[in-house]
Amino acid sequence: MSRLIVVSNRVPVPDKRGTAPAGGLAVALQSALAARGGLWLGWSGQSCGEEDVGPLRSVKDGNIEYALTDLTDLDVEEYYHGFANRVLWPICHYRLDLAEYGRREMAGYFRVNRFFASRLLPMLQEDDLIWVHDYHLIPLADELRRQGVKNRIGFFLHIPWPAPDVFLAMPVHEELLKTLTAYDVIGFQTVHDRENFAECLARQGLGKRLGESKFMVGEHTFTARPYPIGIETDEFAGLAKRAAETTLHKRMLQSLDGKALIIGVDRLDYSKGITQRIDAFETFLNRHPESQRNVTLLQITPKSRSEVPEYEAMQRTVAEQAGRVNGALGTVDWVPIRYVNRSLRRPALAGLYRMAKLALVTPLRDGMNLVAKEYVAAQCEDDPGVLLLSRFAGAAQELKEAVLVNPYDVEGTAEAMARSLAMPVDERRERWRSMMKTLRENDVFAWCDTFLGELSGSTARPAYRAALPQGGILRSKAV
């Protein structure tokens, strides 16, 4: 079997005790790496200021090598904060209004991709399979090809690919689209993303479509297909079951004092629809006064990207909004919204999901949304809670038995909350069983196998689960 090379912006490096930071994606990729032997390359998260970047920092864990590079201040500003976070992220989430185009940032993005290619080059062997992740690294294959690399190279986009009218509004769209076609396999979360990509090619007159998933640009043919990402379903379900025995779980139950728990878990990001969700919750409480004092919304939102001004503003807006609702509707012994700005360990999160009667997963746009899948996996089969899910999350393409809503429709979402809380147990069980079947069939290990099967041209499915790194899901976190 060929070696596997994973390249992503950030890398979940195990610490000195061999413990990697947590999450299904990292575990699946680590187990694929452990089965084949290989290398994971990415940014260290550190800047070397204005100095020249020093040698790679390498950490060995069994037959996996983690290779980390620093970047200069200018690189971090232009490539990461600039083009990736202030242009590609908003554009791919349909927020043309938030995109800040600057020639300098665009040039910096391509420059840093060239730099990653030059760091990888000396470590490559002839038959290595290369798997590149996410929007930070779209031009990487093109840069590697320019430097003479002939290996099979795959790319997976974790976020949505926007409709042509949105994508084509980005000044550098043509170059970016062209560089994407240098890959051998391009993975999207949904059919919808792949079709948006295909329409962008057609609108630009770039190459031709040979079949549903086959495309040709110049002499190069490649595959572009949906590979919806999953979670470590059975492991996460086990974690949630065990969490019910913990002290935190018992304390939480006590503090709820019989009230139904409603949960929202998201990184603080404008794509997640948190303010619209709180508006909908307030509308629900006002329209269903009998629910007041009987429900509590726990919104868990760790800060992210606080260097981007929109995120800082959003943090203030959400805190003020929760405070306003609590002030207007709360009583001395009932707080409608508990707003928590921190990250939780996975066992604690799994336990809270299991306790919640309803999960509000209402992004305005999301590549997949793993919180939706984790919530379903964490439920107790006899008395499962209800997943209220945005139609604009990739997960809605698979979890059709969720209560699907349009998050922009605040009143519709409020009514869906009322229906979900009143849903009879038989209906909840039926919906849950069907969603759980989907999650079991397409877990993150199957996702990894399918993508790598396509990339390596092999139909045999290696059992990556058997090669799970020590400690499994308790020890790792998303890339």
Toward ligand ADQ, which CB reaches closer, 26 or 129? 26
Choice among 142, 158, 269, 279 that is catalytic: 158
Toward ligand ADQ, which CB reaches closer, 335 or 344? 344
| Cα-trace Rg, the chain | 23
Choice among 70, 128, 366, 449 that is catalytic: 366
10 Å CB burial of residue 203 (0-12, 13-18, 19+) is middle
361: alpha, beta or left, given left = phi > 0 and alpha = psi -120 to 50?
beta
Cα–Cα distances (Å) from 6 to 15, 59, 66, in that order, read 19, 14, 9
Q: State the nearest-atom distance from the C-beta of 118 to ligand ADQ, in Å.
A: 27
Q: State the nearest-atom distance from the C-beta of 378 to ligand ADQ, in Å.
A: 10
Question: What residues contact residue 149 under an 8 Å CB cut-off, 6+ apart?
Answer: 117, 121, 124, 130
Q: State the nearest-atom distance from the C-beta of 351 to ligand ADQ, in Å.
A: 12
Distance CA 114, CA 78 (A): 14
Q: Do 354 and 378 touch, CB atoms closer than 8 A?
A: yes
Cα–Cα distances (Å) from 84 to 43, 108, 394, in that order, read 14, 10, 21
One-letter amino acid of 115: F
Toward ligand ADQ, which CB reaches closer, 25 or 402? 25
Toward ligand ADQ, which CB reaches closer, 283 or 438? 438
Toward ligand ADQ, which CB reaches closer, 25 or 421? 25
Distance CA 8, CA 11 (A): 7
One-letter amino acid of 307: E
Distance CA 338, CA 327 (A): 12
Toward ligand ADQ, which CB reaches closer, 119 or 354? 354
233: alpha, beta or left, given left = phi > 0 and alpha = psi -120 to 50?
alpha
Toward ligand ADQ, which CB reaches closer, 72 or 197? 197
Residues in contact with ligand ADQ by the rule CB under 6 A: 23, 25, 158-159, 229, 265, 267, 300, 302, 343-344, 349, 366-371, 374, 478
Of 329, 265, 323, the residue nearest 291 (C-alpha) = 329
Q: State the nearest-atom distance from the C-beta of 359 to ligand ADQ, in Å.
A: 11
Q: Do 147 and 100 touch, CB atoms closer than 8 A?
A: no
Which DSSP string do the residues of 365-383 spell out, in sequence order? SBS--HHHHHHHHTS-TTS
Q: State the nearest-atom distance from the C-beta of 26 to ligand ADQ, in Å.
A: 10
Q: State the nearest-atom distance from the C-beta of 392 to ligand ADQ, in Å.
A: 11
Q: Is 158 noted as a catalytic residue in this protein?
A: yes
Of 477, 353, 417, 345, the residue nearest 25 (C-alpha) = 477
Toward ligand ADQ, which CB reaches closer, 227 or 329? 227
- Structure tokens given for 75: 């690189």
Q: Is 449 noted as a catalytic residue in this protein?
A: no
Sign of the torsion angle spanned by Cα atoms 157, 160, 161, 166:
negative
Of 307, 302, 286, the residue nearest 411 (C-alpha) = 286
- Structure tokens given for 217: 């640009």
One-letter amino acid of 145: R
Q: State the nearest-atom distance from the C-beta of 123 to ligand ADQ, in Å.
A: 26
Q: State the nearest-atom distance from the C-beta of 380 to ligand ADQ, in Å.
A: 19
Catalogue the active-site residues: 158, 366
